Amino acid sequence: MFDVRVALAQLNQTVGALEANATAILRHATDARHRGAQIMVCPELAVPGYPPEDLVFKPSFVAANLRAVRQLASQTGEMPIVVGFVDLDGGNLYDAAAVLQHGRIMGVYRKIKLPNYGVFDEKRYFASGPTGLVLDTGPLRIGVTICEDLWVPNGPHIEEAQSGATLIVNLSASPYHHGKWRERQRLITTVAREANAAVAYANMVGGQDELVFDGFSLVTDSRGQILAQAPGFEEELLVVDVPVEESVPREPAGSQILPLSLPIHPGTTLQAPEICHPASTEEEIYQALVLATRDYVRKNGFADALIGLSGGIDSALVASIAVDALGPTHVHCLFMPSVFTSEESTEDAKTLSRDLGIPLRTIPIDPAIDTYRELLAPVFAELKEDITEENLQARIRGNLLMALSNKLGFLVLTTGNKSEMACGYATLYGDMAGGFAVIKDVLKTMVFRLVVHRNARARGPWLPKRLLTKAPSAELRPHQKDTDSLPPYDVLDPILEAYVEEDLPVEAIVARGFPRDVVRRVARLVDRAEYKRRQAPPGVKITSKAFGRDRRLPITNRFSEESG
């Protein structure tokens, strides 16, 4: 048993930013060398960014990514760096890991297990690699794997262990959903025991469109004991002395063997590594939303965000997230009251903006409502008022937000939650208008929990407490309440989780104790709102099944359980 000093670079890369991504890798490599690391492992596709999606079909993109890896290799020395890139061979693309050292690409591993479920489309892009790769460094053999390789039975780590690997490294880009870090711990622990090898798992961190990568890179010993876990939701260079057994290869070795020298262990002692984990579900979700929002705004070239404050809890939570993501000077709010806006909402919007330290602009929308009414009167004639007039108010607000966005260059953050998105309780081109839907995957009951959590945190000002007690209302007609149209959220949300995330049939949800008519109604609402969700802005996935590419349902769809 001896120690090998491994550095895991938990990087926040940007898709397509090849030079900046390579620079970040080199910066961490310098740091790793200073801390005596013998090898550095980066996340999956750290050079091109993850997921590059159909960019890999552009030959110019793949070529630029290959140039970037060669350029990166040319700047390496004694310490090997294992980096993810898109490899090209014989017309096939591979999700690959290059071992860079002494100015050269020493070897390449190609991912074998390609996920093609949930948000993943990897079989669309990549061919499977042939075998594992084992780095033969003398007393220690190191098996290289990429993300999904460890998540399926009989991954290449088994074969690599048979080829003598007593340390398995994994390059990952594992998207967040709440509790995912625990699933990963269980997985890595199992892998370590299966392979009887220590495992060093390097995860990506940061936001990319609808995905956020939470980090929490970790290291276990060969018994599956967790030795270190990096913090979540931030960049980190995790340097750990990993105790490993001397390798005793068994023949025949199925894996490709690459001889590689490692720099010698510096002999110094590292600080006892930390095992970081989130304080609570609310804390982890809140941090995921903050990071995803910051990265979406900034990686898309914006500095400032704009939010329509209604005085309700959803927009209050989004404003708070935006302030934590961008700082109060980069968050702008617009309050757009109508004759239906309550005094409480007006007060709460003002209190909130004052307490968060963000400027509040106010534009009352009644004159615009009146103008539209007059314009539409000849067409609408004697038809009575209905949802049309409510939608108009929401769309006027959407227009005003977009006008400010266009004129001032702010990105509009929408404020709809998952309960609303699920049921279609939102106005297309109205409250759905904007660039990023921060809490689109957060059920309303979790919105409440996040606000309670936000107020309980030591730092930062409180959000108005009345947000937690007043009845939710869209305030689009007199005395309106959400419960006029939807079941109470503590009934609705568990039904939505069962129907959307678990894909359970109506009867199975009824068996959990919910009234049949309510479950049926909710299922119908969800089915019929697909067309709205298709035009929604992207938003952060925080559950195991978010609307978006996680859940690909047709709009044109006559199936319902009653009819089936």
- Return the residue of 75, 128, 131, 399 that touches a second copy, per CB under 8 A: 399
- Return the residue of 23, 63, 182, 484 that touches a second copy, per CB under 8 A: 63
Minimum CB separation of residue 305 from a second copy in Å reads 15
| Of 80, 83, 87, nearest in space to 65 by CA | 87
Whether the Cβ atoms of residue 400 and residue 384 lie closer than 8 Å to each other:
no
Minimum CB separation of residue 92 from a second copy in Å reads 13
Minimum CB separation of residue 209 from a second copy in Å reads 5
Whether the Cβ atoms of residue 526 and residue 532 lie closer than 8 Å to each other:
no
Closer residue to a second copy (CB): 31 or 501: 501
Cα of 69 vs its chain's centroid, Å: 26
Closer residue to a second copy (CB): 15 or 26: 15
Where b means 16+ CB within 10 Å and e means fewer, 542-560 reads bbebbbbbbeeeeeeeeee
Closer residue to a second copy (CB): 186 or 534: 534
Closer residue to a second copy (CB): 27 or 33: 27
- Return the residue of 93, 226, 360, 376 that touches a second copy, per CB under 8 A: 376
Residues 6+ positions from 527 with CB-CB distance below 8 Å: 557, 559, 560
- Return the residue of 34, 59, 252, 469 that touches a second copy, per CB under 8 A: 59
Minimum CB separation of residue 556 from a second copy in Å reads 5
Sole window of 136-144, 194-202, 416-424, 429-437 interacting with a second copy (rule: CB under 8 A): 429-437
Closer residue to a second copy (CB): 346 or 399: 399
Q: Active-site residues: which are they? A: 44, 111, 147
How distant, in Å, are the alpha carbons of 87, 111, 115, 374, 428 from that of 123? 15, 11, 7, 55, 34
- Return the residue of 196, 371, 468, 515 that touches a second copy, per CB under 8 A: 371
Closer residue to a second copy (CB): 125 or 286: 125
Rg, C-alpha atoms of the chain: 26
- Return the residue of 392, 447, 529, 546 that touches a second copy, per CB under 8 A: 392
Residue 273 structure tokens: 């590594």
Whether the Cβ atoms of residue 553 and residue 534 lie closer than 8 Å to each other:
no
Closer residue to a second copy (CB): 257 or 536: 536
Whether the Cβ atoms of residue 192 and residue 222 lie closer than 8 Å to each other:
yes
Is residue 414 involved in binding a second copy (CB under 8 A)?
Answer: no
Amino acid at 252: P
Residue 207 structure tokens: 């936001």
Minimum CB separation of residue 216 from a second copy in Å reads 22
Is residue 16 involved in binding a second copy (CB under 8 A)?
Answer: yes
- Subset of residues 500 to 519 that bind a second copy, contact rule: CB under 8 A: 503, 505-506
- Return the residue of 14, 145, 320, 351 that touches a second copy, per CB under 8 A: 14
Is residue 2 involved in binding a second copy (CB under 8 A)?
Answer: no
Where b means 16+ CB within 10 Å and e means fewer, 367-379 reads ebbeebeeeeeee
Rounded Cα distance between 536 and 534, Å, is 6
Rounded Cα distance between 174 and 213, Å, is 6
- Subset of residues 247 to 306 that bind a second copy, contact rule: CB under 8 A: 295-296, 299-300
- Residue 361 phi/psi, 5-degree rounding, is -95, 150
Which residues are bridge partners to 168 per DSSP?
143, 199
Closer residue to a second copy (CB): 55 or 165: 55
Sole window of 118-126, 147-155, 246-254, 417-425 interacting with a second copy (rule: CB under 8 A): 118-126
Helix (H) or strand (E) holding 220: strand 218-220
Minimum CB separation of residue 490 from a second copy in Å reads 25
- Return the residue of 83, 396, 529, 546 that touches a second copy, per CB under 8 A: 396
Rounded Cα distance between 260 and 516, Å, is 64
Residue 434 structure tokens: 């904007």
The reply to whether omega before 328 is within 30° of 0 (cis) is no
> Other CB atoms closer than 10 Å to residue 175's CB: what's the count?
23
Size of the site for a second copy (CB under 8 A): 90
Closer residue to a second copy (CB): 377 or 456: 377
Closer residue to a second copy (CB): 407 or 459: 407
* CA angle, residues 41, 44, 45, in degrees to nearest 5: 115
Residue 83 structure tokens: 């980096």
Minimum CB separation of residue 142 from a second copy in Å reads 31
Minimum CB separation of residue 15 from a second copy in Å reads 5
Closer residue to a second copy (CB): 89 or 561: 561
Q: Return the SS3 of 307.
A: strand
- Subset of residues 341 to 370 that bind a second copy, contact rule: CB under 8 A: 361, 363-365, 367-368, 370
- Subset of residues 545 to 564 that bind a second copy, contact rule: CB under 8 A: 551-561, 563-564
- Return the residue of 461, 488, 494, 538 that touches a second copy, per CB under 8 A: 538
- Subset of residues 134 to 193 that bind a second copy, contact rule: CB under 8 A: none
Helix (H) or strand (E) holding 289: helix 281-299
- Return the residue of 248, 379, 458, 471 that touches a second copy, per CB under 8 A: 379
Residues 6+ positions from 413 with CB-CB distance below 8 Å: 293, 305, 306, 307, 318, 322, 434, 435, 436, 437, 438
Alpha-carbon dihedral sign for residues 495, 499, 504, 506:
positive
- Return the residue of 23, 57, 357, 481 that touches a second copy, per CB under 8 A: 57
- Return the residue of 3, 15, 71, 544 that touches a second copy, per CB under 8 A: 15
- Return the residue of 2, 23, 30, 67 that touches a second copy, per CB under 8 A: 67
Sole window of 39-47, 48-56, 275-283, 469-477 interacting with a second copy (rule: CB under 8 A): 48-56
Amino acid at 531: Y
| Of 291, 288, 286, 318, nearest in space to 305 by CA | 318
Strand ranges, E, within 387-515 = 411-414, 436-437
- Subset of residues 197 to 256 that bind a second copy, contact rule: CB under 8 A: 207-209
Sole window of 119-127, 140-148, 184-192, 418-426 interacting with a second copy (rule: CB under 8 A): 119-127
